[in-house]
Amino acid sequence: MTSPATAPATDAPRTAAPRADRGSSFRRNAQRTGSRYLWLFILPAAAFYIFVVLIPSFQGVFFSFTNWNGLSADWKFVGLDNFTRLFEDAVSVKAIGNTFLYAILSTVFENVLGLLVALALHSRIKSRNVLRVLFFMPVVLLSVVIAYLWQYLFQVNNGAITQLLHAIGLTDANPNWLGDPNLVVFSISIIVIWQFTGYTMVIYLAGLQGIPPEQLEAAAIDGAGPFTRFWYVVRPLLAPAITVNIMLSLIRGFMIFDQIWVTTGGGPADTSHSLSTLVYRTAFQFGELGRGTAIAVVLALIVGILGFIQYRGLLRGGAR
Mean local confidence (pLDDT), 44-56: 90
Q: Is the pLDDT of residue 298 over 70?
A: yes
Whether 67 contacts 78, CB under 8 Å = yes
72 in any annotated domain: no
| Structural domain includes residue 6 | no
> Which backbone phi and psi does 77 adopt, to 5 degrees?
-75, 120
Q: Is residue 136 part of a domain?
A: yes
Task: Kindly state the average pLDDT of the residues 282-308.
Answer: 89
Q: Evaluate whether 101 touches 185 at the Cβ level (below 8 Å).
A: yes
73 within a domain of the structure (yes/no): no
Give yes or no for residue 12 having a pLDDT over 60. no
Query: Domains in the chain: how many in total?
Result: 2
Indicate whether 68 belongs to any domain: no
Q: At residue 176, what are phi and psi to the nearest 5 degrees?
A: -95, 85
Question: Could you read off the pLDDT of 38-48 as tens digits, one per residue?
Answer: 777 888 888 99
Is residue 42 one of the residues assigned to a domain? yes
My answer on whether 88 and 50 are in the same domain is no
Asked if 188 and 273 touch (Cβ cutoff 8 Å), the reply is no
Please indicate, yes or no, whether residues 205 and 315 belong to a single structural domain of this protein.
yes
Q: What's the pLDDT score for residue 29? A: 59
What mean pLDDT is reported for the chain?
A: 85
> Do the beta carbons of residue 69 and residue 288 sit within 8 Å?
yes
Mean pLDDT of the region 261-290: 91
- 278 by Cβ neighbours in 10 Å (0-12 / 13-18 / 19+) ranks as buried
**Same-domain check for residues 262 and 134:** yes
Residues of the chain with pLDDT > 90: what percent?
Answer: 44
Which of residues 5, 37, 63 is at a domain's end?
63
Residue 168: CA atoms inside 13 Å, Cβ hemisphere, count? 6
91 and 57 within one domain: no
**pLDDT, position 35:** 64
Q: How far is CA 44 from the centre of its chain?
A: 27
Start-to-end CA distance of the chain, whole Å, equals: 65
**Which of 174 and 100 is assigned the larger pLDDT?**
100
For residue 243, give every residue at least 6 positions away whose Cβ sits within 8 Å of its Cβ, in sequence order, or none. Answer: 310, 313, 314, 317
CATH number of the CATH domain containing 296: 1.10.3720.10
Specify which residues 77 forms β-bridges with.
Answer: 66
Q: Based on the domain organization, do 46 and 94 belong to the same domain? A: no
> Both 58 and 182 in a single domain?
no
Domain of 45, in residue numbers = 16-63
Counting every residue written for the chain, the total comes to: 320
Residues 196-223: tens digit of each pLDDT: 999 999 999 999 988 888 888 888 888 8
Q: Are residues 219 and 264 in the same domain?
A: yes
| Residue 290 and residue 216 in one domain | yes
**Same domain flag for 277 and 202:** yes
Residues 280 and 150 in one domain: yes
Q: Write down the pLDDT at residue 1.
A: 44
* Same structural domain, 42 and 92: no
Question: What is the structure's pLDDT at 24?
Answer: 62
Is the predicted pLDDT of residue 249 greater than 70, yes or no?
A: yes
Q: Same domain for 294 and 256?
A: yes
Q: What's the whole-model pTM score?
A: 0.81
**Has residue 11 been placed in a domain?**
no
Residue 259 has pLDDT above 80, yes or no: yes
What digits encode the pLDDT tens for the residues 14-25? 544 455 555 566
Least confident of 53-67, 235-249, 305-319: 305-319
